[in-house]
Chain A
Amino acid sequence: MTKTCIDSTRFGRIEVDEEAVITFSQGLFGFENYRRFVVLCLDEKSPFRWLQSLEEPSLAFVVIEPRYFMPDYAPTISDADAEALGLDADTPYLMFAVVTVPPGKPEQMTANLMGPIIVNAVTRMARQVVVEDDCYSTKHSILQELMKWQSQAREGADAGTDLQGEPEHRDRR
């Protein structure tokens, strides 16, 4: 089986099966020249993963599955993106949000829900997409969202009521 190797800056030598490689045909915004990445799981118990470039040793992003901290995250992606990824209604896929941590302030970590990464789990083709919903921004506080869900779950259990409000309607385009 073909292996790909990289001496990464953060994790030392990484050897991955060619089948584990995910390919961004357009790169990520701002990093258009880097196409081949691998998702590293360093700790099974952690929700965080590293998206490591296989072309640039120092390029790696922390990513998280958005539904870990926002279970109702449901972005709308354009037909153009779905088509480019070869996704139809029942293609299995993975979704990640890129995590930013202000230096020395881990409690202020945020996830970018406006530009999630979607991976076609069959072809391993990936794309960072721009979601079509106005309610998602590039900086969602992961800890605040987690606390919100925990308290909603508690209140829901106490009152047995549905706390969902009216969805926001905004004028688009």
Chain B
Amino acid sequence: MLVLTCKVNQSIVIGDDIEVVVLEVRGEQVRLGVRAPKSIAVHRKEVYEQIRQENLNAASVSTDDLSSLQARLVEEGNP
């Protein structure tokens, strides 16, 4: 991994059109600004991790679970 030390308002450039700016450092928190073309998706890694974990949980649903789900929906009444 490339490691760079930056001060506030300094930035690093990735490729031709992605820029990561250090906006603020406060205690253990760092605020970063990301400037990238709209065609590049930028998300926190935790978000991908959460979705991955939720998919893993969802993959273990059984057909029995689904029949009880449907039973619950009927109880609540369809909208």
Asked if B51 and A106 sit within 8 Å, CB to CB, the answer is no
Contact at B39–A83, with CB atoms within 8 Å? yes
Contact string, A58-94, partner B, CB cutoff 8 A, digits 1/0? 0111100000110000000011110100000000000
Q: Which A residues touch B69, using CB under 8 A? A: 48, 62, 99, 101, 106, 109
Question: Which residues in A have their C-beta under 8 angstroms from that of B6?
Answer: none
Interchain CB contact under 8 A, A146 and B59: no
Q: Check B71 against A106 for contact (C-beta < 8 Å).
A: yes
Instruction: Please name all residues of chain B whose beta carbon is closer than 8 Å to the beta carbon of A59 when the two chains form the complex.
Output: 59
Q: Which residues of A contact B70 (CB under 8 A)?
A: 43, 46, 48
Q: B72 and A106: CB pair below 8 A? A: yes
Which A residues touch B65, using CB under 8 A? 62, 101, 103, 106
Chain A 96-135: CB-based contact to B (< 8 A → 1; otherwise 0)? 0011110100110100101100000000000010100000
Contact A31 B55 (CB under 8 A): yes
Pair B39/A100 contact, Cβ less than 8 Å = no
Interface secondary structure of B, over-half rule: helix
How many angstroms from the CA of A61 to the CA of B42 in the assembled complex? 26
Cβ < 8 Å to A, chain B residues 32-78: 33-34, 38-43, 47-48, 50-63, 65-66, 68-73, 76-77
The verdict on A61 contacting B72 (CB below 8 Å), with A81-B41, A138-B50, A173-B33 known, is no
Per-residue B-contact encoding for A8-38, CB less than 8 Å = 1, 0 else? 0011000000000000000011110000000
Most A C-beta atoms less than 10 A away, residue of B42, B58, B66, B76: B58
A-contacting residues of B (Cβ < 8 Å)?
Answer: 33-34, 38-43, 47-48, 50-63, 65-66, 68-73, 76-77, 79
Interface residues of A (CB under 8 A from B): 10-11, 28-31, 43, 46-48, 50, 59-62, 68-69, 78-81, 83, 98-101, 103, 106-107, 109, 112, 114-115, 128, 130, 138-139, 143, 146-147, 149-150, 153, 173
